Structures are given as structure tokens and as C-alpha cells.
Amino acid sequence: MKKLIIMLSAKRCGSTAIFNLFQKHVNVKILHKDQYINNWEPQFWLYASKAINGDVLDFKNRVLKSLGFEKKFSKKQYDEDTIFKIFDKIFDVYGPVIFDKSPQYLGSKDSLDLLNKYVGLRDDVNLVIFAFIRNPLDAITSQHELWKHYTKEISLEEREESWLKKYEHLEKIQKDFNIKLYKYENFCLEPKKYTKDLMNYCGLSFYNELCSHLKAKSLGRYSLTPYRSIRNWKISIELEEHMKKYGYSKDIYKTKLIDKLKTFLTSIKRIILPLYQKFF
């Protein structure tokens, strides 16, 4: 039985770390001729859906070249049957278990409709989909800090809107797909526990080396940002309601900042008090 494992998430929600996790699994292949590439998002189903609609350049340049299929499958036009035969070939070369991820999938109905149609026509393909979410304040902060100068999303409000649309889409497609949702923070804090759960969900074996790279980092990024624009960010009511729905709260950062201030003042006191006692 062939198996296609798909990860859905917004940007900056840990998809690279999870990519590396599956990349290390001895029974899984990624969609690239170089299985040791640091990070890769072929966006196969996104560019395939565009190719069917006449925009073939990205599909050829990004997808077929990265797989080494550009000569055999280079065409002026693509239809669903051709796309599905290409993915059959991918399974022949890279299968039987393939992992694929792209933050673009979460907001693309055409991509997931095409994927669903492919799996529906293949009795020997088992589809496993899971999703990731991260505290939106941290994720959007990370997006803004890293891509502030060269993305189309020029404001925090636009990033908010994009985020909300993606997870609204996730809630809609959960009716059609069996999708388990994981939190980025849980994998950072308890990597072994949640990696084991994810492997079990995907029907794969677990071993400790898989999650050795997962660390508790970038938690609370929103509270530590040096960017004034983020510190002045007025979060919308819609985003606050979304956060509550998924178990996140803005108030947690107030507590964190107070705790950090207390720790800082305690450290200063430990340095200054001995000096004061020595000289005075």
C-alpha cells in the first residue's frame, strides 16, 4: 500500500522542523532527487493545479526539475490525467511512503481538490493529512521580522487576515479530510511524546533520533521583538477570538514579561549588592 503524508500549516509554524523529522525517517522519502536537502517545498499540487489552468512554467522549473522528470514529462499543456500519471511515477521512484508539505496548501482549495481527486482514483494510495498551528502572535511576528521588506503582505493587518483565512479553510476541509491538529509549542517542549504520537498517527515506527533536533526555541517571540511596529500592533477582535478557540491567550505574555523583569532585577541585585558591601 502506498502512503502520501501531507502537512498543512501557515508560515513559520514549524514546518521545516517537521520536514527534517520525516526526512530522517528510514521509511519515508521527500519530493526531491536530493534526499538530504536542508528544506524543500515542491508545492506539487499547487503548481499542478496551475499547470492544468495553463500556467506551466513553475510546474516544469520547480517540480519536474527537482525530481529529475523534466525531459520525460515536459509538455505544453497538462490535464488531470497527465498530472496523476506523474505522481504515479513519483511513487514508483520515491515511494511507497512520501512526505510533502507547503504552507501554500492550507490556503489553496484547488491544490487540495486536485489531491483529493487523485487519491479518490487510486485504490492503492492511503492519504494521511495532519496540520500544525502555532501561537499566531509568535508566528506572525516571525513572518514580519523575517520577510518585512520583500513580501506582498506589507502590514501586520494583512498577515492577520491571511492567517485567519488559512485556518478558516482548515476548519472547512476537516469535514472532508481526517486531519489531526498539532501545536508547535508541544513539539518544542515535549518532542519525544508528540513525535511518537505523530508517527503513530501516520502509521510509522518511532525512534529517538527522529526528534533529536527539536528544541524549545522561539517560544514567546512576540514578547521579545525589537520591532516597534509589532509592539504597537493592535490585534483584531477576530484574531483574539481565533486564539481563544485554539487555546492561546495574549495575556500569557504579560506574565512572561513580568517574570523576565523580576529575573533581570534579581540578577542586577546579585551583582550590585556584593559591590556595595565591598566598597561601602
pLDDT in tens, 188-217: 999 999 999 999 999 999 999 999 999 877
Residue 279 predicted with pLDDT over 60: no
CB 170 within 8 A of CB 131: yes
Q: Is residue 250 situated within a structural domain?
A: no
C-alpha cell at 189: 517542549
Of all residues in the chain, the percent with pLDDT exceeding 90 is 70
Provide the pLDDT confidence category of residue 219 given band limits of 50, 70 and 90. Answer: confident
Distance of CA 65 to the CA centre of its chain: 23
String of b and e for 155-167 (b: at least 16 CB within 10 Å)?
ebeebbebbbebb
Residue 145 burial (CB count, 10 A): 15
Mean pLDDT of 211-237: 87
| pLDDT attached to residue 270 | 59
Residue 225: the pLDDT is 87
**pLDDT, averaged across the chain:** 88
Contact in structure between 41 and 31 (CB atoms under 8 Å) = no
Least-confidence region, from 154-168, 184-198, 208-222: 208-222
| End-to-end Cα, the chain, rounded Å | 79
Residues 59/51, Cβ–Cβ less than 8 Å: yes
pLDDT higher than 90, residue 90: yes
The answer to whether residue 133 is domain-embedded is yes
pLDDT at 224 over 90: no
Tens of pLDDT, residues 56-73: 999 999 999 999 999 889
The answer to whether residue 271 is domain-embedded is: no
In a domain, 272, yes or no: no
In a domain, 230, yes or no: no
Is the residue at 202 inside a domain? yes
State how beta strands 125-133 and 2-8 pair.
parallel
pTM above 0.75, yes or no: yes
Q: Is the pLDDT of residue 278 over 70?
A: no
Least confident of 50-54, 141-145, 272-276: 272-276
Residue-number span of the structural domain to which 88 is assigned: 2-219
**Number of domains present in the structure of the chain:** 1
Binned at pLDDT 50, 70 and 90, residue 151 comes out as low
- Alpha carbons within 13 angstroms on the beta-carbon side of residue 5 total 24
Residue of higher predicted confidence among 154 and 70: 70
- CATH number at 67 reads 3.40.50.300
Does residue 244 belong to any structural domain of this protein?
no
Could you give the CA distance from residue 74 to residue 186 in angstroms, rounded to a whole number?
A: 43
